[in-house]
Amino acid sequence: MTARDRNGPRPRRERAVIGAVRLPLQRRGEVEESLDELAELVAAAGGSVVERVVQERKTLSPALHFGKGKIEEIGQAAKAGDADLFVSDDPLSPSQERNIGKALGIKVIDRTALILDIFAQRARSSEGKLQVELAQLTYLLPRLVGQWSHLERLGGGIGTRGPGETQLESDRRVIRRRVMQIRGELERVQVHRRLQRAGRRRMGAPVVALVGYTNAGKTTLLNRLAGVRLTAADRLFVTLDPAARLVEPAGHQAFVLTDTVGFIRKLPHELVAAFRATLEELKDADLLLHVVDASHPAVDEHMRAVEELLGELAVADRPTVLAFNKMDRVESDSGLLVARRGGVPISAATGAGIEPLLKAIEHALPVSGVVTLRIPHADGTALTLCYEHGRVLARADEPDAVRLEVELAARLRGRLAPYVVDAPAASLGLED
């Protein structure tokens, strides 16, 4: 008896039709690239794409998003391909989702639900699971009308994992209570992360945060620089839980390198909100290391998506180094792209370009310096800033103030300029 016989037949992969609407201001290539990515997301969720449909419209249909004729075409494609799922690349309202599902007779989800499903499969840590559950519940709450019986009838699969299977009998009040509970737990996680960041600061090493589009090679680069073996694979959204490792390259300044969840076009706002505690790692970074997959045909769109999300998170002003990764896969001359954006060509897989990258990081890191401050007790915020974002070397308490010898990044010294003391630290009687 084979292993296949013992375990029974493998479950059938869900077969999906995917579709999008192209509006007048959208480029055809842009829509097709987004559908290519949607097909990759379906595969990452465990399904397969049997057909793809694009409709050109001047405006979206309020009831069906697509036109009625196109919905009929989608239904025919689904029947011909034995599909049991339709995935819209565009966001659907709850009523549009229900109307399309009724017209097609199969399960209907949008890109947001698909991404949430992938996150539900990949979350491993308790924090990651909480963040995904919060995002899913926030997404599902306005879809409660008729949604539970719809999901119960379909019996699970892509778009229904996570709380969708365990909360079918719940009403809005129960879900809202659970949302409040999760937010409370994530606030405690946020406090814990703040303490972790303060601990890293006390090490005295600057913090470099990896950012980039999903599957750009961030974790592979972290493994290369830090000499570790975190899970990395050539697929979307492998890393959900943040990681921090000390990098001590020979002949270069040591720094702490942190990795976070990858970005993607049309990243659901529910995920951005739920993962805010994780993404706050970026706000504490001295430098952002933006890793770009130089071999991807939509490289410019990927970079723009990352930059837009960094702006949404209010960290776009951070010093940034561009690393054009996977250069070993680039067949055409990409020198113009690298020169245009001022990046460093590398291959995290082979190690090519790592030395120039380390030099670029060292050059871009803000210069830190030791200053002596006399901070009044009334300004607790300034004192907290020193301890959370600097490295306190010595302290002396006075009746109305605290004197500190502290190492601070250049971007923070301006905020504390009114409290700078000109006298050298040795003459202040500061304790070691």
My answer on whether 313 and 231 are in the same domain is: yes
- Whether 241 has a pLDDT exceeding 80, the answer reads no
Q: Following CA atoms 172, 174, 176, 182 in sequence, which dihedral angle do they give, to the nearest 10 degrees?
A: -150
228 and 152 housed in the same domain: no
Domain co-membership, 374 together with 349: no
| Confidence (pLDDT) at 122 | 79
Predicted confidence (pLDDT) per residue in 193-205, tens digit: 777 766 666 656 7
Kindly state the helix (H) or strand (E) to which residue 54 belongs, with its residue range.
strand 48-56
Q: Is 343 a domain residue?
A: yes
3-state DSSP call for residue 283?
coil
- Coil vs helix vs strand at 232: coil
Q: Is the pLDDT of residue 235 over 80?
A: no
If asked whether residues 255 and 360 sit together in one domain, one would say: yes
CATH number at residue 395: 3.30.70
| Domain shared by 156 and 268, yes or no | no
Of 98-107, 141-150, 305-314, the one with minimum mean pLDDT is 141-150
Confidence of residue 7 (pLDDT cuts 50, 70, 90): low
- Print burial letters for 345-367: b (CB count within 10 Å at least 16), e (below 16): bbbbbeeebbeebbebbbeebbe
| pLDDT (tens digit per residue) in 279-292 | 777 877 889 999 99
Spatial distance between the Cα atoms of 10 and 154, rounded to a whole number of angstroms: 19
Q: Note the pLDDT of residue 262.
A: 80
**What per-residue confidence (pLDDT) applies to 322?**
95
Structure tokens at 113: 């639900």
Residues 6+ apart with CB under 8 A from 178: 133, 137, 163, 167, 170
More confident call, 261 vs 22: 22
Residue 399 lies in a domain: yes
- Predicted confidence (pLDDT) per residue in 164-193, tens digit: 444 445 567 788 888 899 888 888 877 877
Do 264 and 319 belong to one domain? yes
Return the structure tokens found at 245: 């490792």
Q: How far apart are CA 224 and CA 217, in angstroms?
A: 11
Region of poorest pLDDT, from 151-155, 261-265, 380-384, 408-412: 151-155
Say which residue, 359 or 331, is predicted with more confidence.
Answer: 359
Write down the pTM of the prediction.
0.73
CATH classification at residue 358:
3.40.50.300
User: Contact, 75 vs 105, CB < 8 A?
Assistant: yes
Which pair of tokens denotes residue 264?
Answer: 């993607």
Q: Is the pLDDT of residue 6 over 90?
A: no
Strands 255-259 and 243-247 turn out to be antiparallel
Q: Evaluate whether residue 275 is within a structural domain.
A: yes
Q: Is the pLDDT of residue 149 over 80?
A: no
pLDDT at 24: 93
The model's confidence at residue 131, banded by pLDDT at 50, 70 and 90, is confident
Amino acid 269 reads H
Q: Please check whether residue 8 lies inside any domain of the structure.
A: no
How many C-alpha atoms does 256 have within 13 Å on its Cβ side? 21
**What pLDDT sits at residue 71?**
96
Q: How confident is the model at residue 431 (pLDDT cuts 50, 70, 90)?
A: very low
Sheet holding 401-409, edge to edge: 368-376, 401-409, 391-397
Rank 64-68, 266-270, 339-343 by mean pLDDT and report only the highest: 64-68
Per DSSP, what are the bridge partners of residue 391? 407
pLDDT-derived band of residue 233, with 50, 70 and 90 as boundaries? low
In a domain, 9, yes or no: no
Distance CA 395, CA 78 (A): 71
Same domain, yes or no, for 176 and 218? no
- Contact yes or no for 162/116 (Cβ under 8 A): yes
Residue ending a domain, choose from 186, 216, 238: 186
Higher pLDDT, 161 or 215: 215
432 falls within a domain: no
The residue type found at 410 is A
User: For 224-236, what is the mean pLDDT?
Assistant: 70
pLDDT of residue 326: 92
Pairing of strands 15-22, 48-56: parallel
Question: Which of 2-6, 239-243, 286-290 bottoms out in mean pLDDT, i.e. has the lowest?
Answer: 2-6
Q: At what angle do helices 354-364 and 218-226 cross, to 10 degrees?
A: 90
Q: Are residues 212 and 346 in the same domain?
A: yes
Q: What's residue 3's pLDDT?
A: 46
Are 270 and 293 members of one domain? yes
Cβ atoms 44, 236 nearer than 8 A: yes
Last residue within a domain, chosen from 71, 89, 112: 112
Long-range contacts of 325-334 (CB under 8 A, 24+ apart): 325/216, 325/217, 325/220, 325/221, 325/291, 325/292, 325/293, 325/294, 326/216, 326/217, 326/293, 326/294, 326/295, 326/296, 327/294, 327/295, 327/352, 327/353, 328/352, 329/294, 329/295, 330/294, 330/295, 334/294
Share of the chain above pLDDT 90, in %: 38
**Surface-to-core class of residue 273, CB atoms within 10 Å of its CB (0-12 exposed, 13-18 middle, 19+ buried):** middle
Pairing mode, strands 368-376 and 401-409: antiparallel
In terms of domains, do 258 and 379 share one? no
Average pLDDT, the chain: 81
Shared domain check, 215 and 78: no
Residue 254 placed within a domain: yes
User: How buried is residue 392: exposed, middle or buried, by Cβ count under 10 Å (0-12/13-18/19+)?
Assistant: middle
Tell me which of 430 and 326 has the higher pLDDT.
Answer: 326
pLDDT at 367 over 50: yes
> Residue 152's pLDDT is what?
45
Q: Judge whether 111 and 138 are in contact, CB under 8 Å.
A: no
Q: Provide the pLDDT confidence category of residue 91 given band limits of 50, 70 and 90.
A: very high
Domain range enclosing 411: 368-427
Q: What is the pLDDT of residue 370?
A: 82
260 lies in the same domain as 283: yes
With respect to residue 194, please indicate whether it lies within any of the assigned structural domains.
no
Question: How many domains in the chain?
Answer: 4
Domain end marker among 62, 97, 112 = 112
Which residues lie closer than 8 Å to 245 by C-beta, 6 or more apart?
Answer: 222, 225, 226, 228, 256, 257
